[in-house]
Structure 1
Amino acid sequence: MKALVLAGGSGSRLRPITHTSPKQLVPVANKPVLFYGLEAIAEAGVTDVGVIVGDTGREIREAVGDGSRFGLRVTYITQSAPLGLAHALLVAGDYLGDDDVVMYLGDNFVVGGISGIVEEFRAQRPDAQILLTRVDDPTAFGVAELDGSGRVVGLEEKPARPKSDLALVGVYLFTSRMQEAVRAIRPSRRGELEITDAIQWLIDRGCDVRSTTISGYWKDTGNVLDMLEVNRSVLDTLEPGMEGKVDRASEIIGRVRVEAGAEIRRSRIVGPVVIGAGSVVTESYIGPFTSIADNCRIEDSEISFSIVLENSLIDGVRPIEGSLIGRNVAVAPAPRTPAAHRFVLGDHSTVHISS
């Protein structure tokens, strides 16, 4: 079996963060979300991984390298444009050959990994195995319809009138029969080769398509709120550690990890919280479910339920919560006079102001 990890796409719902970094490399608990997927694949005993890349391929290659840090052998496959999940399988056809494949969307997060589902697939080898989860708004996902016995009888991509609340999770397992399916289908009205159409092609021809409905935690980290929720979930399992310096005037409560080279001065930290290497927190409050990346400075401020990326400064601002703050950002109070707001904002920014 090989793995195919999709790490292309523009990440439009995470702009402006993704103007300068691929969405798969936005960190959760100070580790890129893509790395969690690669670790899950390695834990499942799959070592050969094809990584689909697009316009952000250079950044993905620099972050992942040859895969050896994860115990993997990585091959990069370029997709000319994000033309659908089935299109990614199509362009990876030469790499996959006749091997079975587990396809993993690089911006998805599945708590508990995929070892169990991979083991089940290897033992039973249906033509396709999909993961499903119940969602509140099925119109935003690929949706599966099951018969009375739980067999998959239909799939539809982002339906206006969903036939169920069972959404496809971004992990799929296929035999080489799927290669025939992706070559046979045609682009949808969205101009993409839909994975739901390819799986439906298998169903229509009597192939063995099975599903597993997961009850554990799954998120597509495509927007800020979901990214913060995944950060919260990961921090809930945080192993505390004090490799950095914490002075006697500071208070540490709960599960807190202070990385090597970080310093906490006259501050209160209430976990779960992770403070990255080289960061300095001074006379501040860091509240639960917050990740501070490397080489940040937090001074005379309060922040909770947030993610702060590398080399950023928060000085004299309180309180901050539910925020995703990018790299090399400075957040500070506005001058008292003149009584006007002044901004330098990137494309697609959202600003909330109390006045």
Structure 2
Amino acid sequence: MADVEAVILVGGLGTRLRPLTLSAPKPMLPTAGVPFLTHLIARIAAAGIEHVVLGTSYRAEVFEQHFGDGSALGARLDYIVEAEALGTGGGIRNVAPVLGADTILVFNGDNLIGVDLLAMVETHRRAQADVTLCLQRVPDPRAFGCVSTDEAGRVTAFLEKDPNPVTDQINAGLYAFRREVIDSIPTGRPVSVERETFPGLLAAGATVVGHLNTGYWRDFGTPADFVTGSADLVRGIAPSPAVAVPGEQLLLAGARVAPSADVRGGSTVGRGAVVEAGALVDGSVLFDGARVAEGAVVVRSAVGADAVVGPGTVLEDVVVGDRARLGARLELRGGARVWPDVTLPDGSIRFSTDA
């Protein structure tokens, strides 16, 4: 893999993950104890790829402040900032000046994927492809870009979010590009690889092939996927060199869990966070400094930094923003979101939908 470089697109606003992304870009959200992007960079480095370029935009400075030159993860990092939103294709073209390899792997920065990167590169080279798309089979492909292939694995159609999909194969958000294809992407305007570059290559008769991933894959676009993905990493279901010892819980430095509390399901308890007596935290993420009070129940939920979940309160599939204060005996379920610095009184509030 010495002649392969990697590009990670991390410029999105992460609006579907608000309020968590009000304080940090989506790829920097704490996931199994470290920023999500750590897991991706560590997997790339473990595959033998040394040079990784981050295409940034929203809060671009945060990435370099945290990762520096990348040496701590075994990589050499470059940072290229988009002055304005350029789309996926424009973002890839924007980083071209710092690329030197013939084969470029491009990752969407919000996908957790367990594909064998070497095997994908071998597929790309064996087919002498212009672009190779990593594909994933999913039960309901309607929310994703569907990709049809023939018996030889060549892509025959790329249908972005088709309400009547003809295949269960979707675009998994990872591509291998021949360098010349990247150089052919127009500059100076937004370009979508999904809607413009890939269909244009097919129409021009280029060699576009698919590589089917049979391992783990999850798009971290929604709070439910973020929480589930973090739990999967903690438990070792999702692969990551950044997770030392998989288990049912991950307690970070200074976290305190009462002896009678129950923390399970791949939950992460952040630095200085507290889980008090009789509380249950199951398949959830508690950010640094969060507190779950006595007898509270937190299931498949994210509780932001320094937020407080009051005694006896029940959270199921809920996002609580930083510094929010939830009173006692509340019930919040089914996608409810509490924004930062909000205080909810005791007892009478019950949310059952996104709020």
**TM class, shorter-length:** 0.7 to 0.9
Q: Which string of whole-angstrom CA distances, capped at 9 and with x for unpartnered residues, describes residues 217-265 of structure 1?
A: 2121111122122123223328798xxxxxxxxxxxx833333322222
Partner of 1:339: none
Name 2:42's counterpart in structure 1: 39
Question: After superposition, where does 1:321-336 map in structure 2 within 5 Å?
Answer: 321-333=316-328
Task: Determine what percentage of the aligned residue pairs are the same residue.
Answer: 27
Does the CA contact (< 8 Å) of 2:310 and 2:329 recur in 1?
no
- Which of 290, 307, 315 is 1:296 aligned to? 290
1: CA distance, partners of 2:235 / 2:251:
16
Residue 30 of structure 1 contacts residue 291 of structure 1 at CA under 8 Å; is this kept in 2?
Answer: no
Q: Which of these residues, 236, 240, 250, is aligned with residue 257 of structure 1? A: 250
Tell me how far 1:130 sits from its aligned partner.
Answer: 0.7
Q: Which residue matches 2:276?
A: 282
Confirm or deny: 8 A CA contact 1:291 1:307 kept in the other structure. yes
- 1:207 Cα deviation from its structure 2 partner: 3.0
Given that 2:50 and 2:76 are in contact with CA atoms closer than 8 Å, whether structure 1 keeps it comes out as yes
Note if contact 1:284-1:298 (Cα within 8 Å) is conserved in structure 2: no
> 2:115, 2:214 within 8 Å by CA — same for their partners in 1?
no
| Partner Cα separation in structure 2 for residue 96 and residue 258 of structure 1 | 39
Match of 2:261 in 1: 268
Is the contact between residue 305 and residue 321 of structure 1 (CA under 8 Å) also seen in structure 2? Answer: yes
| TM superposition outliers: structure 1 runs of 4+ over 4 Å | 122-125, 238-241, 343-346
Q: Matches of residues 10-21 of structure 1 in structure 2 within 5 Å? A: 10-21=13-24
1:223 aligns with 2:222: yes
Q: Is residue 143 of structure 1 aligned with residue 157 of structure 2?
A: no
Q: Could you tell me which residue of structure 1 aligns to residue 345 of structure 2?
A: none
What letter corresponds to residue 55 of structure 2 in structure 1? I
Question: In the alignment, what sits opposite 1:353?
Answer: 351
Give the TM-score normalised by the residue count of structure 2.
0.81
Report if the CA contact (8 A) 2:313-2:328 is conserved.
Answer: no
Q: Distance in 2 between matches of 1:118 and 1:41?
A: 12
Q: CA deviation at 1:86?
A: 0.9
Aligned pair in 2 of structure 1 residues 313, 157: CA closer, same or farther (>3 Å)? same
Q: TM (normalized to structure 1)?
A: 0.81
CA distance in 2, matches of 1:113, 1:182: 27
**Number of the residue aligned with 2:54:** 51
Cα deviation for residue 334 of structure 1 reads 8.1
In the superposition, relative to structure 1, how do residues 175 and 112 fare at CA in structure 2: closer, same or farther (>3 Å)? closer
How far the C-alpha of 1:57 sits from its partner, in A, is: 0.4
Contact 1:317 1:331 in 2 (8 A): no
C-alpha RMSD over aligned residues: 3.1
CA displacement, residues 132-153 of structure 1 (integer Å, 9 cap, x when unaligned)? 1123443432221222443212
Q: 1:30 to 1:324 in 2, by over 3 A?
A: farther
Counterpart-to-counterpart distance in 2, 1:139 and 1:328: 36
- AA aligned to 2:300 is F
Range that drifts further, 119-128 or 137-146: 119-128
Q: Which amino acid aligns with 1:34?
A: L
Matching residue's letter, 1:41: I
Q: Secondary structure at the match of 1:210?
A: strand
Is contact 1:267-1:281 (8 Å) kept?
no
Q: CA, structure 1 residues 261+344, in 2 after alignment: closer, same or farther (shift >3 Å)? A: closer
For 1:76, the equivalent position in structure 2 comes to: 79
**CA apart distance, 1:177:** 2.6
- In the alignment, structure 2 segments of 5+ residues that lack a partner are 238-242, 331-336, 341-348
Please, which runs of 5 or more residues in structure 1 have no aligned partner?
Answer: 242-253, 336-342
- Find the counterpart in structure 2 of residue 214 from structure 1: 213
Which of residues 84, 90, 93 is equivalent to 1:90? Answer: 93
> Which letter does structure 2 place at the counterpart of 1:353?
F
DSSP 3-state at the match of 1:207? coil
Q: 1:78 to 1:280 in 2, by over 3 A?
A: same
Contact map agreement 2:319 2:338 (CA 8 A) in 1: no
